[in-house]
Chains A and B, each alone.
Chain A
Amino acid sequence: AQTVTQSQPEMSVQEAETVTLSCTYDTSESDYYLFWYKQPPSRQMILVIRQEAYKQQNATENRFSVNFQKAAKSFSLKISDSQLGDAAMYFCAYRSRVRVEYGNKLVFGAGTILRVKS
């Protein structure tokens, strides 16, 4: 079974600074997707960024980018120019691509609370 580990329960960043959230995962599969979801106090789950394992290029979405290290099974999220609205819980998630016909569940990490200081 796949597992996702987020070793930082909580992180803080100064507004306009850069912060990196860590995520590692364990899998024996070679084809999968990785995601970062943001959960603000409203508890809505919002997709931040996704990465296909077969792509070597790291995904970027505006101020959000990832550092995907497949061999190390590491998938960190970098937030540049942090804003007050970035304050939230961030979840790393894994999804297999092997049995894609069944829809494939997301496996989540425990989450990292990000606090943004003004």
Chain B
Amino acid sequence: EPEVTQTPSHQVTQMGQEVILRCVPISNHLYFYWYRQILGQKVEFLVSFYNNEISEKSEIFDDQFSVERPDGSNFTLKIRSTKLEDSAMYFCASSEAVGWGVSTDTQYFGPGTRLTVL
């Protein structure tokens, strides 16, 4: 069964450093998402991406965050200058398009990347 994959599974970085989290969505999916979950808290939406552009972003997704689809398979989340409060689990998700600009209801999640900022 197709699945969303994410690398690395765990990333440790120093405060102020840049990190790139990588995701490979399910191959025929066209909608991509990033969510984060601070330990012990709810899962929060960061950004959605369709047709090579951001379609929606949350207040959390400020200028230090960016997303990119550098090729036909990868979807990345970059954090330019990490802060202690960026420590969290980051989930990538994807969903199908059933027509131009229309996604299906179900988002499939990757296993997550645990980011630890020291």
Contacts and interface: CB of A to CB of B under 8 A. Distances in A.
A103 B35 contact: no
B43 A103 contact: no
Contacts, number: 70
A6 B89 CA distance: 21
Given A105-B48, A107-B45, A111-B42, A33 B105 contact: yes
Question: Which of under 10, 10 to 19, 20 to 34, or 35 or more describes the interface residues of B?
Answer: 20 to 34
Interface in B23-39: 31, 33, 35, 37
Contacts of A97: 105
Nearest to A6: B42
A34 B108 CA distance: 14
A95 B104 CA distance: 11
Interface stretch (B11-19, B62-70, B77-85, B95-103): B95-103
A50 interface: yes
11 contacts: A43-B89, A45-B112, A46-B109, A47-B109, A50-B105, A91-B42, A100-B102, A103-B48, A104-B103, A105-B56, A106-B43
Given A45-B91, A103-B31, 5 more contacts: A44-B112, A95-B107, A100-B103, A105-B48, A106-B43
Interface of B: 31, 33, 35, 37, 41-45, 48-50, 55-56, 58, 89, 91, 93, 95, 101-103, 105-109, 111-112, 114
